[in-house]
Amino acid sequence: MTRSETPSPLPFRLPAGGLIDRSTEIRFSFDGRSYAGHPGDTLASALLANGVRLVGRSFKYHRPRGLLSAGPEEPNGLVELRAGARREPNTRATVAELYDGLEATSQNRWPSLRFDLMSLNQLAAPILSAGFYYKTFMWPAALWEKLYEPMIRRAAGLGRAAEAPDPDRYEKATAHCDVLVVGGGPAGLAAALAAARTGARVILADEDFRLGGRLLAEAQTIDGRPALEWAALAEAELEAAPEVRIFRRTTVFGAYDHGAYGAVERVNDHVATPPAYEPRQRLWRFVAERCVLAAGAIERPLVFPGNDRPGVMLAGAVRTYAHRYGVAAGREAVVFSTGDDALRTARELAAGGVTVAAWVDARREPPDALREAVQELGAPFYPDGAITAVHGRTSIQAVDIRTPLFQTTLECDLVAMSGGWSPTLHLTSHLGGRPVWDEALGAYRPGAPPPGMSVAGAAAGGMTLRECLATGGRLGLEAARAAGFEGTDAPPPVAWPESAAAATLWRGPTGKGKAFVDFQNDVTDADLELAEREGYRSVEHAKRYTTLGMATDQGKTSGVNAVGILAGLRGQGMAETGTTTFRPPYTPVSFGAMGGHHRGKEFRPTRRTAAHAWAAEQGASFVESGVWLRAEWFTRPGETDWMQSCAREVATVRGAVGICDVSTLGKIDIQGPDAAALLDRLYTGTFSTLPVGRARYGLMLREDGFVFDDGTTARLGAEHYLMTTTTANAGKVMQHIEFALQWLWPELDAQAVSVTEQWAQFAVAGPRSRELLARVVAEDVSNEAVPFMAALPVTLPGGVRGRLFRISFSGELAYEIGAPSSYGEALARALMEAGRDLGVAPYGLEALNVMRIEKGHVAGGELNGQTTARDLGLQKMVSTKKDFIGRVMAQRPALVAPDRPALVGWKSADPSVRVSAGAHFLDVGAAASMENDLGYVTAAAWSAHAGGWIGLGLMKHGPERIGETVRAWDAVRGRDTPVTLCAPCFYDPQGERLRG
Amino acid sequence: MAEIALSPPLSAFAALARHGRHGRAEGPAGVVVEELRGLALATVIARKGRAADLAAACRASFGVEPASTPRRTAKDGLAVVWSGPGQWLAVAEKGHPLTAGGADGLADALRGALAGLASVTDQSDARGALRLSGPRVRDALAKGLALDLHPRAFRPGDAASTWCALIDVQLWQVDAAPTYDLLVARGFAGSFWHWLEASAAEFGLEVR
Amino acid sequence: MRITCPHCGERGNEEFAYLGDATVRRPDDAGAARPGAPEFERWMDYVYLRDNPAGRHRELWQHVHGCRAWLVVTRDISTHAIFSVEDARAAALARPSLVARDAAS
Ligand SMILES: [Zn+2]
């Protein structure tokens, strides 16, 4: 901050007043130029104080635009905030809190804001009218990609996203309360106070960096004192209340079912760099018993020719700039209004030394009191009048004023317009509530708000301070009572009566120039006329056709005017014309906040096995398998290619012994008198006949008859089984069992619980595996003691209780050995130590895959949710003697049709040509067409044993065509390879090795 | 060759929890975390229609009556935490006499006392356990836990199975300080720890 | 949405898994249900036929990231208003037996 020299007064800063710290000057830049402002300013107020009127270019016509508003509804003043990796596009200058060093850049202009070549679009305006995208670019389609889209992208587009990863942190959090108060203006403060005094847990959220709402922007009195004093007392009381949490800079952007609300807290958007460990933004979920919506109101612009010129602003915003920021938005102002409220703007301007050049009132007979009050300010008063033209391009020079009696051109540089105020009722509509037109109010009121929500103050249509304080206090207390708290009614603070009388004017007389309805999307009254003429009669259709209300501001300043104009065109009332509903978010929410902690490596949780560190030490490359990280292969020094490592690992297992961490397989402990009966109903095969101490392969179907999952299940005791599932389906199978036990067959006395995490388990596979295990396990592991498919408890070194299963996926003599997970890493190391002289090595998923393909075991490629037991050649595992899940549907004719693709093995005729999963089987000479498609390759691997590329596939009549040559046609990789069909087992078909 | 031995067991957070101060360094730590090592855990699921008998047997054998709502009941270092209808997690503190021969001693003892009444499964190695406290512990947990931990809503002895930062957790309140014990599946310990470190950093995290 | 688990209390819908219609009942005559038989049609209805009422509906959910109980949630699927949440196991045990139902129909 600079205090070295007395700052020269900024050209449009009023000599006094405003909630800014004039003793401190802070510097900021806009489009590379340096400016001064004060703490308490927004970027918008500081730009205006410096006389910067032109802040952006419009989306379609690239018209010069200035600030329209002073709040979140701003359609024009969108800038890129910050630079580099922290650059954030489409930020509203009106809510960007000024800080020292703030950098902002205008957007949507080229090469510069003042001289924008794209504004030539204005000359092409006739073809850019409503429906332009739909009409112009429909044909020919080829031009869309090459011409139209690049052109539109360059010409239109909003700001530029940062190109580097956002260096800041974001968070998500939940907070609970009895009463959520949305909005910290007079109604919200009153509601929060009333609720807090009952002892209820209250959350008060306001999007501004300072509580007070319109009280910050108006000269008002409450209880005979300046309103801000009342607000300060209220704030102090709330701060001191133990069960109240105040969230400043927090926008409640969405209302969701059953009392959940979404909010974004801009924790550190008001500093250049967030302090260490603090997030930039925090996404909140508020869970509230009750909610009082006190979101205020948004002023409507008037639709008249030239109403988008820089310097035409909302009257309420003009007085916000003057009162809150001590900034004159111009030097000579014309007020154009349909109501009395703008009088406060005129007074505020006059008090600040700004000339009020005229008051143009759209009403035929405005109140006499208003006329007198305006004339007291020295301004001419024009009833039944309108502005019909605005002179000047990047700033206003003069306006044309027309009344039935005369017409004049008046010099000025500011138009303060007011078309009345619309309640900010968005949150009442997020769950489908439709706003209701109130003719007397001249605005939409909230319809039925969601359960638990009540609406106070201006958001409910009570536009005076009196009403805000009264309804806020009453509804705050009611909300607390509804949440179970007790409190006594208290009279509301006293505010002077004021006139909120207003009429509606949806569009002024036509004149020279465009009259904009939606500033951000450049939709004019003429566009709405065109839409109406072309038959887009429903508001929803007209909105989509013209794109009105579909910009980032969601039509906050345009929606109601558009309905009014459409109603006028059709000669019907507002109520019959309808309205649009609103959807979250109320204002844009960044993806960063939505993601919170979960991005990059933390995008989703990862799961590591107990021996992960050991695998990493061994050179493992990890792959995500579901959320688990599993070793794909282990790179040894000198190996440059994963296939080399994989081939070595296969050779190790086939020739000596290998170790593979299989802890990720789902393990489910099933006990109880009916455990066997349960398994018989879950699996196609019979498990009640399985002897204790033995394991059996099981196949599970879904109720629709397709294969769901497979795995080996062991019987540990008469009433005790241990089921294993695939890694991918572990969670789903657990849910399936719980569903069976709780809903399908609650009469079964069986209990199931996941023990996946309790046991670390390793496959020990290869001809020397028994030798290795004998050194680790205390018990006899001979073929007699531990035959194929045996399952038994064993004792590990130090007396640790382990489990041993003699099962094989690789086709070799193999076991799986389990230890409690705390010993997982220790067991891996012990197995390596014990097998050192046997040539042991760890192997990963790729080697596992090669060996299971060689053995023809089905896995993920074949268990793809579209295959039946019969397709996989597993029909003999399907019992016909009992009911089990999927039995009936598996008999459907289409599931047993003879031409269903069935499991087959294949071998490439040319060992040098690679075949990949996904290639389609075609007959030799057949064209690659859907009719000729025979099926596809589900798994492929290089097999040293077979001396070439082998694999599995699903093929029509495949099992009947063994020995024939077909093609594996792979359009993605541009390959077309002859393959010979064979039985799906390439290695030790008699199973001698695994039983040895 | 030499006798094969198993190296000592590793707790879930052993490689993650670096002792000392993390995050904001000024002022007292807002969040204090300590890994609870050596807990013995066992899932106890009532056999069909035997929940009442199970409760009585549990009281008779161990002096602890399992709750039928999400609560933790405890006596002399042995706690029973409701974790679902008819389902509890038994937790024996490190050094509890039942675990003299190893953590699975708890499951053995329960199996013996509750034979025919419950299915018992050793889970001592399936979870990582953390004890969390500190003046800002609720604020840190709120960044992942959607549960209402306000003293009016969640009190000492209350327990919950829920989701925290996309990870299943089970937690209970130990005392009004407040102190919470939180269990997470062992495989998720790394992701959970990263979340905890990030979420507690702005308050200052002390790892004990 | 927020669902009040009868065991755990009110939780956000992210803790629950949705399955679907709780009004269908799995037949228990798998042995007789061969394609073409009337029993088979009943199985087809059980697996595939669903009403989609614009209003009150009984649905199966599981408190999968909580107590893991399956639940029967009765709610209005157009307004999301929830009328009741029951433990599915208790509801299942209260069902009439299929034999009794067949005899009555
Ligand atoms: Zn629950």
The pLDDT, as a whole number, for residue A620 is 98
User: Do B44 and B28 share a structural domain?
Assistant: no
The pLDDT, as a whole number, for residue A61 is 85
Least confident of A117-121, A501-505, A651-655, A936-940: A117-121
Could you tell me the CA-to-CA distances from A68 to A71, A198, A313, A329, A345 in Å, in that order? Answer: 9, 41, 4, 11, 15
Mutate to test the interface with B, among A244, A822, A825 (most CBs of B within 10 A): A822
Q: Which of A510 and A969 is assigned the larger pLDDT?
A: A969
d(CA A805, CA A769): 12
Q: Across the interface, do C31 and A883 touch by the CB < 8 Å criterion? A: yes
CA distance A276 to chain B (A): 8
Q: Which of A924, A897, A894 is nearest to A909 (CA)?
A: A924
Tokens of A653: 């297992």
The pLDDT, as a whole number, for residue A8 is 57
Could you tell me the CA-to-CA distances from A462 to A442, A504, A630, A821, B99 in Å, in that order? Answer: 12, 17, 62, 65, 69
Residue B137 located in a structural domain: yes
Residue B2 located in a structural domain: no
Q: Across the interface, do A822 and B10 touch by the CB < 8 Å criterion? A: yes
Summarize pLDDT for A595-619 with one digit per residue, the tens.
999 999 999 999 999 999 999 999 9
What is the pairing mode between strands A814-820 and A759-765? antiparallel
Q: Across the interface, do C68 and B168 touch by the CB < 8 Å criterion? A: no
Residue B108 located in a structural domain: yes
Residue B155 located in a structural domain: yes
What is the distance in A from the centroid of ligand 1 to the CA of C11? 8
The yes-or-no verdict on residue A128 having pLDDT over 80 is no
CA distance A6 to chain C (A): 57
The neighbouring-strand residues paired with A584 are none
The yes-or-no verdict on residue A5 having pLDDT over 80 is no
Other beta carbons within 10 Å of A512: 11
Tell which of B122, B138, B159 closes a domain.
B122
Least confident of A459-473, A689-703, A910-924, B190-204: A910-924
Q: Across the interface, do C67 and B168 touch by the CB < 8 Å criterion? A: no
Under the banding of pLDDT at 50, 70 and 90, the label for residue A118 is low
The yes-or-no verdict on residue A4 having pLDDT over 50 is no
The pLDDT, as a whole number, for residue A368 is 95
User: Do B130 and B28 share a structural domain?
Assistant: yes
Give the amino acid at A435. P
Tokens of C27: 């037949």
CA distance C34 to chain A (A): 7
User: Do B199 and B163 share a structural domain?
Assistant: yes
The pLDDT, as a whole number, for residue B101 is 85
Helices and strands (DSSP H and E) totals, chain B? 4, 12
Tell which of B122, B154, B173 closes a domain.
B122
Q: Which of A336, A341, A235, A254 is nearest to A297 (CA)?
A: A341
Residue B86 located in a structural domain: yes
User: Do B187 and B88 share a structural domain?
Assistant: no
Going from N- to C-terminal start, the domains of chain C cover 2-104
Under the banding of pLDDT at 50, 70 and 90, the label for residue A134 is low
User: Do B164 and B114 share a structural domain?
Assistant: no
Question: Which chain B residue shows the shortest CA-CA distance from C15?
Answer: B163
A409 contacts A399 by C-beta, under 8 angstroms = yes
The neighbouring-strand residues paired with A382 are A360
Give the amino acid at A183. G
Percentage of chain A lying above the pLDDT 70 cut: 95
Tell which of B122, B149, B175 closes a domain.
B122
The yes-or-no verdict on residue C65 having pLDDT over 80 is yes
Give how far the C-alpha of residue A599 lies from the chain's centroid of Cα atoms, to the nearest Å.
12
What is the distance in A from the centroid of ligand 1 to the CA of C84? 14
The pLDDT, as a whole number, for residue A537 is 83
Question: Which chain B residue shows the shortest CA-CA distance from A602?
Answer: B191
Q: How many domains does chain B have?
A: 2
Residue B3 located in a structural domain: no
CATH code, domain with B135: 3.30.1360.120
d(CA A900, CA A960): 12
Q: Across the interface, do A704 and C33 touch by the CB < 8 Å criterion? A: no
Q: Which residues of C touch A (CB under 8 A)?
A: 1-2, 10, 12, 17, 19, 26, 28, 30-31, 33-35, 40, 43-44, 46-48, 60, 62, 64, 68-70, 79-82, 88-89, 92-93
Summarize pLDDT for A617-640 with one digit per residue, the tens.
999 999 999 899 999 999 999 999
Mean local confidence (pLDDT), A917-933: 96
Mean local confidence (pLDDT), A667-673: 98
The yes-or-no verdict on residue A124 having pLDDT over 80 is no
What is the distance in A from the centroid of ligand 1 to the CA of B162? 8
Summarize pLDDT for A778-807 with one digit per residue, the tens.
999 999 999 999 999 999 999 999 999 999
The pLDDT, as a whole number, for residue A127 is 57
d(CA A261, CA A291): 9
Q: Which of A723, A708, A711, A727 is nearest to A626 (CA)?
A: A727
Q: What is the interface size between A and C, counted as CB pairs within 8 Å?
A: 69
Which residue in the set C8, C65, C68 is minimally distant from B70, CB to CB? C8
d(CA A66, CA A78): 10
The pLDDT, as a whole number, for residue A315 is 98
Q: Which of A202, A188, A189, A190 is nearest to A288 (CA)?
A: A202
Angle among Cα A55, A56, A57 to the nearest 5 degrees reads 150
Summarize pLDDT for A156-215 with one digit per residue, the tens.
557 888 999 999 999 999 999 999 999 999 999 999 999 999 999 999 999 999 999 999
Mean local confidence (pLDDT), A911-931: 93
Residues of C in contact with B69 (CB under 8 A): 7
User: Do B68 and B169 share a structural domain?
Assistant: no
Under the banding of pLDDT at 50, 70 and 90, the label for residue A277 is very high
The pLDDT, as a whole number, for residue A146 is 63
Q: Which CATH class is domain C2-104?
A: alpha beta
Indicate the SS3 state at residue A338.
coil
Which residue in the set C11, C15, C67 is minimally distant from B84, CB to CB? C67
Tokens of A510: 């036509």
CA distance B192 to chain A (A): 8
CA distance B92 to chain C (A): 21
Indicate the SS3 state at residue A135.
helix
Q: Which domain holds residue B84?
A: 40-122
User: Do B157 and B133 share a structural domain?
Assistant: yes
Mutate to test the interface with C, among A604, A888, A895 (most CBs of C within 10 A): A888
Residues of B in contact with C69 (CB under 8 A): 84-85
d(CA A49, CA A20): 12
Tokens of A635: 């790179």
The yes-or-no verdict on residue C104 having pLDDT over 80 is no
The pLDDT, as a whole number, for residue A3 is 44
Mean local confidence (pLDDT), A580-603: 93
The yes-or-no verdict on residue A1 having pLDDT over 50 is no
Percentage of chain A lying above the pLDDT 90 cut: 87
d(CA A175, CA B157): 22
The pLDDT, as a whole number, for residue A487 is 95
The pLDDT, as a whole number, for residue A111 is 64
Mean local confidence (pLDDT), C22-38: 92
**Does residue B121 sit at the A interface (CB-CB below 8 Å)?**
yes
Percentage of chain B lying above the pLDDT 70 cut: 99
Q: Across the interface, do B146 and C14 touch by the CB < 8 Å criterion? A: yes
User: Do B197 and B130 share a structural domain?
Assistant: yes
Mean local confidence (pLDDT), A414-424: 97
**Does residue A537 sit at the C interface (CB-CB below 8 Å)?**
no
d(CA A71, CA A806): 71
Residues of A in contact with B199 (CB under 8 A): 171, 597
Residues of A in contact with C82 (CB under 8 A): 258
Which residue in the set C2, C60, C92 is minimally distant from A746, CB to CB? C92
Q: Across the interface, do C47 and A704 touch by the CB < 8 Å criterion? A: yes
A247 contacts A266 by C-beta, under 8 angstroms = no
User: Do B94 and B166 share a structural domain?
Assistant: no
Residues 75-114 of B with CB under 8 A from A: 87, 102-104
Q: Across the interface, do B4 and A755 touch by the CB < 8 Å criterion? A: no
The pLDDT, as a whole number, for residue A2 is 44
Residues of C in contact with B146 (CB under 8 A): 11-12, 14-15
Q: Which of A126 and A814 is assigned the larger pLDDT?
A: A814
DSSP-assigned states of every residue in A535-578: T--SHHHHHHHHTTT-STTTTTTTHHHHHHHHHHHHT--HHHH-
Tokens of A69: 């508003």
DSSP-assigned states of every residue in A59-81: TTT--EE----SSTT-SS-EEEE
Summarize pLDDT for B63-80 with one digit per residue, the tens.
999 999 999 999 999 999
B82 contacts B45 by C-beta, under 8 angstroms = no
Q: Across the interface, do B83 and C67 touch by the CB < 8 Å criterion? A: yes
Which chains sit next to A, with 3 or more Cβ pairs under 8 A? B, C
Radius of gyration (Cα) for chain C, nearest Å? 16
Give how far the C-alpha of residue A195 lies from the chain's centroid of Cα atoms, to the nearest Å.
33
CATH code, domain with B62: 3.30.70.1520
d(CA A338, CA B173): 60
Crossing angle (nearest 10°) for helices A824-834 and A769-776: 120
Residues of C in contact with B87 (CB under 8 A): 67
Mean local confidence (pLDDT), A290-294: 98
